[in-house]
A and B are shown apart, each in its own frame.
Chain A
Amino acid sequence: MGMKAYRRILVHNARGELVRDSGLVPCNSYVRQFLDLVEAFFKRVDKTAKDVDGNPTIIYDADQNANLNGVVHAGVGVDAFGIVVGTNAGITPEDNANYKLDTKILHSGTGEAGRMNYQQGTFVAPQVIAGNVDFSMSRAFINETSAGITIKEIGIICKNIANTKYHLLLRDVVSDTLVGVGETATVVYTLRTTA
């Protein structure tokens, strides 16, 4: 059955009321770098993969501590990694070889036009739920600008902290999701296996 990935985007207004919910939607796209990372673990040797700048850089640094590689847990205001969102202005389709979002929405804590306020990622440990094993990650993005922002792509970027390198692991082009002024979009990724 494999390890499936699902996504869900919820939009809440400033009063905390749910105004839009995509529901749980199958993802389309683990990208190549995910298996590059798995290969590195299996072989236990340094491994390079195409980073978000399009360069082959180290994704797995064998003699660094585990908590310095493959990290997705990004803090408040960090838009370089973790769950990220974009506008896909260039209309880039999903592809095995994707290595970055087409047009990532940047962080702003002061309401700069076209930006969103990136919150800290949250993680729920794997557990057996309704016959599946689910591992969920989520992150909220607040629109503090004076205009709506439409999310058209989402993804997960991991960080090699030891070397400050960033690699895309998943990317999905999503249905246009309008996040109105003062609204918050929460992106949830669920990785699922089923025996």
Chain B
Amino acid sequence: MKEKEREKERASVVKAMLRVVVTSPDGKVLSDTGEKESKSYVIQFLEFFYGLFYATVNVNATATDGAERNIYTLTAMLNLHFIYNYGVGQDIGGIQVGTGDTPVTNDDWKLATKIAHGSGAQQLMYGAMVIGTVAIVAGNVDLETKRTFTNSSGATITVKECGAVVVLNVSPQCHMIIRDVLGTPVPVPHNCSVTIYYTFRTTV
């Protein structure tokens, strides 16, 4: 079989499925993108797994401040690595949203313009990360993660990008592992909420 034919075969993929849902204060769904495949793991994702699998060297990766910082440290406890389950108001890690729309590249290391937590102008209230449990659903293995952001700023905020950031809590050092620019910007009116779902999925 020629290489091009092989490339057409179905490949096993750890997909990240992205869904963006906007709801009103009374829970009415104002918009829902439906589940779409995220386009963009960035290089830091594989750099972490390189460290984990190789288990021989500390591994640096570009952090969200642009500096090269450890994403994997041999002798740091496991539960200090790859932290994603951040709580209310903690915009340092977990799912983040932004207003930038610069195209995604393999080596992106931060959102173009992150929306900070808060109720001021151009800020959103970050809810707690919700992380599901791995389950086989309709022939897939799914792990759902999500976060809700509430707009208390007094004006509509338009979300144009989102991503996932993990933290090595030995400073801390923050690394983006996924970044997506939304195909269509998503307006979030005052007092409304937007929930970003990233569902990690494998399928044999």
Contacts and interface: CB of A to CB of B under 8 A. Distances in A.
B131 A42 contact: yes
Nearest to A160: B78
A4 B73 contact: no
Contact of A96 (B74, B80, B133, B204): B204
Given A65-B76, A66-B52, A70-B53, A30 B12 contact: yes
Contacts of B19: none
B9 to A, nearest CB: 5
A5 interface: yes
Interface residues of A, number: 61
Given A65-B75, A96-B203, A3 B82 contact: no
A195 B84 contact: no
A53 interface: no
B128 interface: no
A112 interface: no
A43 B79 CA distance: 8
Contact of A65 (B9, B39, B74, B134): B74
A24 B3 contact: yes
Contacts of B136: 32, 96-97
Nearest to A44: B79
A177 interface: no
Interface string B56-96: 10010000000000001111111111111100000000000
A165 to B, nearest CB: 14
B134 A35 contact: yes
Interface stretch (B25-33, B99-107, B110-118): B99-107
B3 A23 contact: yes
Nearest to B177: A193
Interface string B11-40: 111111000000000000000000001111
A36 B173 CA distance: 24
B55 A71 contact: yes
Nearest to A135: B46
29 contacts: A1-B41, A2-B13, A5-B11, A6-B11, A26-B6, A26-B9, A26-B11, A30-B12, A30-B14, A31-B202, A35-B14, A38-B143, A44-B83, A44-B85, A63-B77, A65-B76, A66-B78, A67-B56, A71-B55, A94-B204, A96-B140, A123-B54, A125-B50, A134-B46, A135-B47, A170-B12, A193-B41, A193-B46, A195-B40
Interface of A: 1-6, 23-32, 34-36, 38-39, 41-45, 60-73, 94-98, 123, 125-126, 128, 131-135, 137, 158, 170, 191, 193-195
Q: Which 3 A-B pairs have the closest CB atoms?
A: A26-B11, A2-B13, A72-B53
